Amino acid sequence: MKKSPISNKPVELYLDKVQDHLVSHETFQLFYDSSWDMLLTNPIPVQLSDYYESDDYKPHQHNATSFFDRLYNLVRSRSYQYKYKIIKKYNSGAKSILDYGTATGEFLSFMQKKTFLVSGVEPSKKAREQAIKNLNKNIVVSIDELEESFDVITLWHVLEHVQNLEELIQKLQEKLNKGGILLVAVPNFKSADTMHYNEYWAAYDVPRHLWHFSPNSIRQLFSKHKMSVIAQKPLFFDSFYVSLLSEKYKNGKTNYIKAFYQGLKSNLQALKTGNYSSLIYVIKSDL
């Protein structure tokens, strides 16, 4: 019987065929770990980096070419101010920030203009080189290369990609200054848009997304490492963006009206349940 690498308990099949629509068009399975209320991608490819080799992979894009690209970049830039406000609310005296999985460095560039001392980790060579140009400073490949600690550490849609999940969380905790905060944004497979699109839900993004979290699983995961979720904030635009991609995956064409309707419907339901398409978790160390 298959067991979860997180809980070491048996898991059950949740979805038998979820397609990689971006690169390989291969299908993968999702298994449900009921003890942690999370999903696991199966199998994890040996050469996972091959599944990021696409010009359509948005986080590594810098220049927008299509209307869809420009829309993505507009929403992303608007979100930076929202994230900055969250940081200032929960750590008003913060001066230094590490962005783990910084891609091409736009968020750090924004924070640099807010007078933060910025550092970044980015394993992709192409994205890292662009980030170095944007920031005029070095961006490292691994968190192990950093000697300093930080007031704020951010992971914007990164944790779901990480193979050595618990090892990374331990390292992140060690890099937080006393009173520092960790901000983690991940998709939420408990959202209404997930239930509507099922195996076509774009935020499954297999096999790049190895783990699929719920609020319960995030709280348990960080609690295991003596860290607490002190706040949970919605990413309102994600439901629209994910629904737009999901419509294309499900029906073979882009439908802005249907996507807007489903995104709006998901957000309205989340006003009652708290299960937005994506969530930001504000986390502090208990040590």
What the chain holds in terms of domains, given with CATH numbers, is 12-236+280-285 (3.40.50.150)
The label of the residue with tokens 């708290």 reads: 274
CA distance 209 to 84: 26
Classify residue 145 by its DSSP letter: G
Look at residue 287 in the predicted model and tell me its pLDDT: 82
In this prediction, the residues of the chain whose per-residue pLDDT falls under 70 are: 1, 55-74
Q: Find out whether the peptide bond into 43 is cis, omega within 30 degrees of 0.
A: yes
Look at residue 42 in the predicted model and tell me its pLDDT: 96
For the entire predicted model, the pTM comes to 0.93
With a CB cutoff of 8 Å and minimum separation 6, the contacts of 99 are 105, 107, 108, 111, 118, 119, 120, 121, 153, 154, 155, 156
Look at residue 64 in the predicted model and tell me its pLDDT: 52
CA distance 83 to 111: 10
Spatial contact of 23 and 203, defined as CB atoms under 8 Å apart: no
Going by C-alpha positions, the residue among 69, 221, 115, 118 that lies closest to residue 160 is 221
Classify residue 173 by its DSSP letter: H
Report the SS3 class of residue 228.
Answer: strand
Going by C-alpha positions, the residue among 134, 175, 138 that lies closest to residue 153 is 175
CA distance 251 to 262: 14
Look at residue 63 in the predicted model and tell me its pLDDT: 54
Q: Which amino acid makes up residue 156?
A: W
**What tens digit of pLDDT does each residue of 223-262 get?**
999 999 999 999 999 999 999 999 999 999 999 999 999 9
Spatial contact of 266 and 191, defined as CB atoms under 8 Å apart: yes
Look at residue 24 in the predicted model and tell me its pLDDT: 95
